[in-house]
Amino acid sequence: MILARLEQADRYLSLHPDFTAAIALLRSQPLTDLPQGRIEIAGTMYATVSRSPARQRSEACLEAHRKYIDIQYVISGVEEMGWKARSRCQHPHGQYDAEKDIEFFTDPPDTYVTVLPGEFVVFFHDDAHAPLIGTGTVHKVVVKVPL
């Protein structure tokens, strides 16, 4: 997991060949102008823009992905995200959904991070995460980078 401000993103571009295009999208325009929904970027990489109500910690399940890395960028609102190493998750909640590339766990997160507007979090395939924790509405972009 990586937590950083968008201005610091260049230091992480070498971690994956598609990170350059992902960060370029986040820097390309006022993100408040992006329509909600799915935005195709290149190949199988895409982004989802949403405005969602935040929830309590007790309502947020850990999730993990096998095919994509998440770059979650907060446009407005304050979002808390739970984290736990996927290898430490012991309580799956349902089966892995290959079509949606998601599996859920009922384990509690080991830690929480607060993500402010202008900050992003990178969750790799071995990072289970519980997003959208907090109060109010969170406006965000999630870039899905294929592994």
Residues 66-107: pLDDT tens digits? 999 999 999 999 999 999 999 999 999 999 999 999 999 999
- Calpha distance 119→59 (Å, rounded): 23
Q: Of 80, 79, 83, which Cα lies nearest the Cα of 140?
A: 79
- Give me the pLDDT at residue 55, please: 96
Domain count along the chain: 1
Distance CA 25, CA 29 (A): 8
Q: How many C-beta neighbours within 10 Å does residue 34 have?
A: 16
Structural domain boundaries, residue 116: 2-146
Q: What's 71's domain CATH number?
A: 2.60.120.370
pLDDT at 29 over 80: no
Task: Assign 120 a pLDDT band (cuts: 50, 70, 90).
Answer: very high
State pTM to two decimals: 0.94
